[in-house]
Amino acid sequence: MTQTIDNRFGEFGGQYVPETLMTALDQLTTAFEAAKQDPEFQAEFHRLLNEYANRPSLLYYAKRMTETLGGAKIYLKREDLNHTGAHKINNVIGQVLLARRLGKTRLIAETGAGQHGVATATIAALFGMECEVFMGKEDTERQQLNVYRMRLLGAKVNAVTSGQGLLKDAVNAALQDWAAHPDDTFYVIGSAMGPAPYPAMVHEFQSVISKESKAQYQTVAGKLPDAIVACVGGGSNAIGSFAAYLDDPSVRLYGVEAAGQGVASGKTAATLELGTPGIFHGMKSIFLQNQEGQIAKVYSISAGLDYPGIGPEHAALQATGRAEYVGITDEEAVAAFEFIAKQEGIIAAIESCHAVAYVQKLAPTMRPDQSIICTLSGRGDKDVASIAKYRGEEIHE
């Protein structure tokens, strides 16, 4: 699905932000459109992806998982092996190159689990730029390791106490900071959300995931895979995992949301299963909200998925039926965290383990001549302590 000239994906998208930010968005749109066509920008982007971020990432055949589950062959797209340990760095490199073109000297970012904050702090260090990361206070407490990482990289971490102290509140604070400093500051949005051109921009920079996986799978199997599975919070790794297959209708696309304690429990972040259309964080999309439009509280064990909205392109992909969105509970995700560790020797991020848990359900329903590519969006070192706690064991890092 391409973003149309009016900044929409179907009925979703748009630029619902205060006037103070509109000039900055106009400049960003112009710079982004130019960069897409500029061979010099593209060369620099891909050079950094390859030489600094360790791309291309592996497409790994998970033989033991495949045998255990019985059914489709399972391939893992290893974004967890990127520098900084997640897919987030792909997008950050692209956006920070744009920030430099625009002459901005200060980077700000929101972060949930901390992976996008770490990626932004990393590239800020690489380019010698000032960096401030907004992170919900609750998230700073459950992701202390990433908070320290960001500080080690030279970033200032601002613990946001408003609201629930979660990702949504971090986005609010980052938008407010940007509105106060639109001239020198570039807001590096970490997910496929926010006002145009961010969703299209994140799509563009993260599409390297599926461009690679498509070519890699072609080399291995000489055909297209049958299904792509990726976890969805705001939706950046999922849109990157889907992008190259959007026009290949035989490839089924699955986005896996965090159902928390269950879709019906009231403690969930399953936006596309329970949400309704709304306007928030610069975009028209689907949100968890009450009948009158107050944004809902969300819950998930995963600090990277507990967001009450979703990027507008995903809302549109659901509306057209091109992609399917399913929920995985905390319990299922934690079981998948343990499963993939023991089966494949991979400690994957709890976010990614939502996708793994869905693969556990999907693979047995498919034939052995079919294949699934599951994106491991990040590595799970950051989650070890909280998973231990979930299982009733207190460990100190």
Partner 1 sequence: MSKLREVFKNHKAFIPFVTAGDPSAARTVASVVALAEAGADIVELGVPFSDPIADGPVIQAAGLRAFAGGITVNGVFDIVAEIRKQTQVPLVFLTYANLPFKYGYDAFCRRCAALGVAGLVIPDLPAEEAGEILPFTKKHGLDLIPLVSPTSGSRLAKLVTDATGFIYIVSALGVTGQRAGFAQNLPDLIAALRQVTDAPLCVGFGVHTPEQARELAGLADGVIVGSAIVAQAAAAGDDAPAAIAAYTRDMVAAVRQAEVDA
Point out which residues bind partner 1 (CB under 8 A): 7, 14-24, 26, 162-163, 168, 172, 175-176, 179-183, 276-282, 284, 287, 289, 291-295
User: Of 19 and 40, which CB lies nearer to partner 1 in the complex structure?
Assistant: 19
**Mode of pairing for the β-strands spanning 185-188 and 106-111:** parallel
Indicate the DSSP class of residue 302.
-
Closest CA to 229 of 8, 20, 51, 76: 76
Closest CA to 389 of 147, 142, 165, 148: 142
Q: What is the end-to-end Cα distance of the chain in Å, rounded?
A: 44
User: Of 7 and 216, which CB lies nearer to partner 1 in the complex structure?
Assistant: 7
Q: How many whole angstroms separate alpha carbon 358 and alpha carbon 327?
A: 8
Residue 284 pairs with which residues in a beta bridge? Answer: 13, 279
Q: How far is the CB of 258 from partner 1 (least distance, A)?
A: 20
User: Of 185 and 268, which CB lies nearer to partner 1 in the complex structure?
Assistant: 185
Q: How far is the CB of 357 from partner 1 (least distance, A)?
A: 30
Q: How many whole angstroms separate alpha carbon 267 and alpha carbon 280?
A: 21
Q: How far is the CB of 65 from partner 1 (least distance, A)?
A: 40
Q: How many whole angstroms separate alpha carbon 271 and alpha carbon 289?
A: 9
Q: How far is the CB of 291 from partner 1 (least distance, A)?
A: 7
Peptide bond into 197 cis (omega under 30): yes
Residue 110 annotated to the active site: yes
User: Of 23 and 105, which CB lies nearer to partner 1 in the complex structure?
Assistant: 23
User: Of 175 and 366, which CB lies nearer to partner 1 in the complex structure?
Assistant: 175
User: Of 295 and 335, which CB lies nearer to partner 1 in the complex structure?
Assistant: 295
Number of residues that make up the chain: 397
Residue 342 annotated to the active site: no
Residue 324 annotated to the active site: no
Q: 60: burial class by Cβ within 10 Å (0-12, 13-18, 19+)?
A: middle
User: Of 17 and 244, which CB lies nearer to partner 1 in the complex structure?
Assistant: 17
Given a contact cutoff of 8 angstroms between Cβ atoms, the answer to whether 341 and 373 are in contact is no
Options 110, 138, 257, 351, the catalytic residue? 110
User: If you write DSSP's letter for every residue of 346-388 in order, what string do you get?
Assistant: --B-HHHHHHHHHHHHHGGGS-TT-EEEEEE-BBSGGGHHHHH
Indicate the DSSP class of residue 153.
T
Options 73, 88, 214, 284, the catalytic residue? 88
Alpha helices by DSSP H, 247-367: 271-274, 312-320, 330-344, 350-362
Q: Rounded to the nearest 5°, which phi and psi values hold at 50?
A: -80, -45
Q: How far is the CB of 33 from partner 1 (least distance, A)?
A: 16
Q: Rounded to the nearest 5°, which phi and psi values hold at 279?
A: -130, 120
Q: How far is the CB of 108 from partner 1 (least distance, A)?
A: 13
Would you tell me how many other CB atoms lie within 10 Å of the CB of residue 83? 18
Q: How far is the CB of 302 from partner 1 (least distance, A)?
A: 21
User: CA-based Rg of the chain, rounded to a whole angstrom?
Assistant: 19
Active site residues: 88, 110, 377
